[in-house]
Amino acid sequence: MAAICVAAAITAGPGALAGPIDVRTRVIETFGGNAEADGRLAFLGGLVLSGPRDFGAWSGMLVDGDRFLAVNDTGLWLTGRMLIEDGRLAGVADLELYPRRDELGRPITSKRNGDAESLTRVPGGVLVAVETKPRIYFYPADGIDVDFEARAERRDLLGQAAIGQLRRFGFEALATTADGTVIAMAEGGPSRAKLLPAYRLPGKGFSLKREADWSITGADMLPGGDMILLERRYGGGIDIGMRVRRIGSDAVDNATGTVDGPVLIEAGFASEIDNMEAIAATVEDGRLVLTMMSDDNHAFLQRTVMLRFAVRDPLPRPNPLRDGSQSG
């Protein structure tokens, strides 16, 4: 398939990169594998993106209409527009990179200080989850239009119990409910417990059911109150998997004990995936749409992939671990 160049090329080192970038795209026409067999999601197209040296490692994203904002784990913001043709992702335009700034207003230039793993919207701005600390930083924004000159403002939302668990098992995902409650989730958990720690900040803890080797990499909220989880499985080499799970609104609103939800899609190496880490849920033309991006770790053999899916079932789902409830 043809590769397309958009925007204008610039070259700069980490932290100095700011402005339009040159990106090449390859359109993904077919998702591949048998991932869509159960029909919970409909594939709306995808892209493989290639950019300048510092492009990649995208671990969190937000979407507003056709515009998106992403953050990577080496200190960069990415903004741009998705080009939608006949309801499918056909390209990107107006891509720009900007350095993310620390608490002193300095550009972040390394993963040690910039290991962002998730983005979520809150009144007046966005929150960024940083895994290495673990910490949460606020940046002022109008919708997804971030003030890229603003310094990071540390938000002390994490209690000591949450800090301990997130440091031990990895701080990987944030989501904000309709009432403004921020939920923080760990990537992994105790191997024997089959549970993933999560917190309704500033401290109320609960657990997400874990299956096999699946780990959380991203999350977002659906308009009806359900929570969408993006998960990854990695067994070494090309043994990589992606799946999306939907946690019912009743479980999210009353999160105690252990919660779970149906798997909407599960895909392996036969499908057009990579290390999928970022996910955003939106309503477009009356349907729920999920947009995802991969973290290529700036590795030669990995790819930056953007995928779009429509959720075929718009209704909120119950918590299957609650007595008497059903899930499907």
Largest Cα span, the chain: 59
Residue 279 vs residues 22, 165, 184: alpha-carbon distances, Å = 23, 23, 15
pLDDT tens across 215-245, in order?
999 999 998 899 999 999 987 777 889 999 9
User: Rounded to whole angstroms, how far apart are CA atoms 211 and 203?
Assistant: 25
pLDDT reported for residue 112: 72
Q: Which two tokens stand for residue 250?
A: 């009743």
pLDDT reported for residue 37: 52
Using the predicted structure, report yes or no on whether residue 263 has a pLDDT greater than 80.
yes
pLDDT reported for residue 192: 64
Please, which residues have CB within 8 angstroms of residue 105's CB and are 6 or more apart in sequence?
149, 150, 151
Contact call for residues 25 and 92 (beta carbons, < 8 A) = yes
Averaging pLDDT over each range in 43-52, 103-112, 292-301, which range is the top one?
43-52
The DSSP string of 154-204 is: E-----HHHHHHHHHH-EEEEEE-TTS-EEEEES---TTTTEEEEEETTTE
Q: Which domains does the chain have, with CATH numbers?
A: 3-311 (2.115.10)
Contact call for residues 21 and 55 (beta carbons, < 8 A) = yes
Average confidence score pLDDT of the chain? 87
Which phi and psi angles does 283 have, rounded to 5°? -110, 120
Average confidence (pLDDT) over 11-40:
76
Average confidence (pLDDT) over 255-281:
91
In DSSP terms, 287 is beta-bridged to 284
Average confidence (pLDDT) over 187-199:
83
Average confidence (pLDDT) over 99-114:
88
pLDDT reported for residue 126: 98
Using the predicted structure, report yes or no on whether residue 268 has a pLDDT greater than 60.
yes
Average confidence (pLDDT) over 304-314:
92
Query: Count of alpha carbons within 13 Å of 306, Cβ hemisphere only?
Result: 30
Buried b or exposed e, range 234-259, using 16+ CB within 10 angstroms? eeeeeebbbbbbbbbbbbbeebeebb
Tell me the pLDDT band of 29, cut-offs 50, 70 and 90.
very high
Average confidence (pLDDT) over 146-171:
93
What own/partner pairs with CB < 8 Å and gap ≥ 24 does 194-198 have? 195/258, 196/169, 197/162, 197/165, 197/166, 197/169, 198/255
User: Rounded to whole angstroms, how far apart are CA atoms 221 and 228?
Assistant: 6
Q: Which two tokens stand for residue 317?
A: 């789902």
